[in-house]
Amino acid sequence: MSTKLFTNSSVMDLIDFDQKSLLVAAGSIAFNPIFWNVVARQEYHNKVLTKLFGGNSRYGCYFLAVVIFGIGIFRDFLYEQALRQQPSLDALQSDVVKLAAAALFFCGNVLVLTSMWALGFTGTYLGDYFGILMDHRVTSFPFNVTDAPMYYGSTLAFLGSALWFAKPAGLLLTVEVFVVYKIALMFEDPFTGAIYAKRERERAKKST
């Protein structure tokens, strides 16, 4: 795609909204957190996946993990394809920006990978909705840096990619990533908190 000078360009010049790949990538970014939240809540209330796997909640969790991982990879592929079909911005094509992009991508992936390590497999992939609860809340790195390292790390990785390819459209999609994750947290945090609060009440009843 052609490059653009910021001073001589409007928003419509910097982002090609006629490219279907942009809309597809935006749709995928919005779809993923909606999907796993809906499926996880259905599992919690109705045990849909647990029943599908003969009453084995761990198998249901493993299946959902594979699906979430798969659609995540596909979303990243759609994002990259969308960027390649978008105009580049001259102002972003510098060594300094490239260095910043690499640092953001690296830091983002550190947050994602270390949070997965700290939570474990089932902790990462919504095991608490399957009744697979952790013994205690994780407060070590990276959770001592942010309460949602996987989401914020993923956002940083998107931002790093947008800057690396010098694509204003990538910056717009990164804003979408940030917004949909913030909305997801508004639903997830209270619900997850309620799950663990219920467990503590049940433990308290047993101890009396």
Tens place of pLDDT per residue across the chain (208 aa):
555 555 455 556 789 999 999 999 999 999 999 999 999 999 999 999 999 999 999 999 999 999 999 999 999 999 999 999 999 999 899 999 999 999 999 999 999 999 999 999 999 999 999 999 988 888 899 999 999 999 999 999 999 999 999 999 999 999 999 999 999 999 999 999 899 988 888 888 877 7
Query: DSSP letter at 86?
Result: S
Q: Is 70 annotated as a binding residue?
A: no
Please report where in the chains the tokens 């089932």 appear, as a residue.
122
What is the per-residue pLDDT for 102?
98
Q: Is 165 annotated as a binding residue?
A: no
Q: Is 106 annotated as a binding residue?
A: yes
- Return the structure tokens found at 188: 């997830």
Q: Is 61 annotated as a binding residue?
A: no
What is the per-residue pLDDT for 12?
64
What is the per-residue pLDDT for 135?
86
Model's pTM, two decimal places? 0.90
Cα 152 to Cα 154: distance, rounded to the nearest angstrom: 5
* 33: enclosing H helix or E strand: helix 20-46
What is the per-residue pLDDT for 64?
97
Q: Is 108 annotated as a binding residue?
A: yes
* 179: enclosing H helix or E strand: helix 168-207
What is the per-residue pLDDT for 11?
59
Query: Residues 45-65, buried b or exposed e (16+ Cβ, 10 A)?
Result: eebebbeeeeeebeebbbebb
